[in-house]
Amino acid sequence: MYRDFLVPLTPSKEVSDVLGVVMLGGETTQDFADLISNDKELNEWIDITVQRSGRGARVTSLEYKVSMLGLNRVRNMIIGRNIERAVIPEIQSVLSLLLDERNKNKAKAKPSAPARKSEEKAQEEEQKIIPEFGAFDKYTLYAKRAEAAAVEIKNSYTGQAYAGGVLFDYLNSYFSQSNIENFVQEQRFKKPQKFVEELFEDGLRGALVADEMTKFIQIRYQRNVFFTSLVRNIGKAILLAYDPAGYEKSVKAHRDAKLAGVPLRSSEAEEDEFDMDHAQVSALYVGRVPCFNGLEKSIDYHHNPRLLKSRDRELHALSSVMRVAGLLTSLYQEHRSKQPDIHAIPDKSIVETEVFQFLRLTPAEWRTIKDKYAMNLIKIGL
């Protein structure tokens, strides 16, 4: 798993550097100019794009070019192109598809007279295939959706949401090239990109709850709550990628046990099959990215935060927020189709837990959290 999936799916240093800046917030044109200064390909694309705007002769600094093109456009291009480099066959890349299209058009066109020597270089530059920056947006769908959700609820750390979404974009792009449908029986897994969508939406719901909780508690990792809650279960998709049949088998074992009234958590079924559960895999994945270092333990223990209490009280607090948020989202999803009033759901199983008591939320605060969460689901369209 480590060699075949975690390594190829790990964001490159260039992506990690961009995300590190974005997660801190307040990124500048100089930040992005510095980050892409050593990427010859992207530099050329930026240069020619600016030249074609008619202002290339007056613009010399990379920082100014980034400013002209827009921080978010440049950010998405850097991330998108690096995701493409990592998991998309070159023949299916944006650039290759554009070249194929041009060659087809050239074959149909009538041959023109040769250009004069003095015009050859200019013509060569003009004819270079340079992708539109928006062409790479298809690789940052989840990053932008997570960021938009964070903006909608007025979260103070929207870059954290964007960074978490990028991990889902890596998996989504990987699954676009997979043939997993040949190894599984259930329709849910035959369309693995749909499975990634389910995990993302579940993570986003958890992030919405966690965000509301932080308005009543203060923890050291306040800014990371949205990110960790969003990606806490992403290891499920990695297990599916690693061994589709094995993961399907673990899901079926959990479901059969539940129907039979036998207590078997999904994480226990995963451990029986893989000797590790999705929380551990999520933590391994997150821990491989330098800009996320230090957060992986909170994700690893989010099903049982008390194991962190004596090791790291600050990460224990973060993990506790994730646990309570996850319990509420699961409970509400189970009941909302029949009972949309979130205050009517039986949440005694949550408020009596040790982890809930640790957070010391008052009944009034808990009621407000639930109320705001339900309203935010409507705002976000979940």
What's the pLDDT tens digit per position in 171-210? 999 999 999 999 999 998 999 999 999 999 999 999 999 9
Contacting residues for 262 by C-beta, under 8 A, at least 6 apart = none
pLDDT at 122: 46
Q: How does DSSP classify residue 261? A: T
Q: If you average pLDDT over residues 266-280, what whole number do you get?
A: 94
pLDDT at 104: 77
Is the pLDDT reported for residue 125 higher than 50?
no
Reading phi first (left if > 0) and then psi (alpha if -120 to 50, else beta), residue 89 is in: beta
Pick the range with the lowest mean pLDDT from 256-260, 291-295, 347-351, 360-364: 256-260
Would you kindly state where each structural domain of the chain is located, as residue ranges? 17-98+132-138, 140-380
**Structure pTM?**
0.92
Considering only CA atoms, which of 163, 120, 136, 154 is closest in space to residue 23? 163
Considering only CA atoms, which of 306, 338, 343 is closest in space to residue 324? 306
| SS3 assignment, position 39 | coil
What's the pLDDT tens digit per position in 304-324? 999 999 999 999 999 999 999
CB contact at 8 A, 264 and 257: yes
Task: Give 56's pLDDT tier (boundaries 50, 70, 90).
Answer: low
pLDDT at 161: 98
CB contact at 8 A, 68 and 59: yes
CATH of domain 140-380: 1.10.3210
What's the pLDDT tens digit per position in 94-115? 989 888 887 777 677 665 555 4
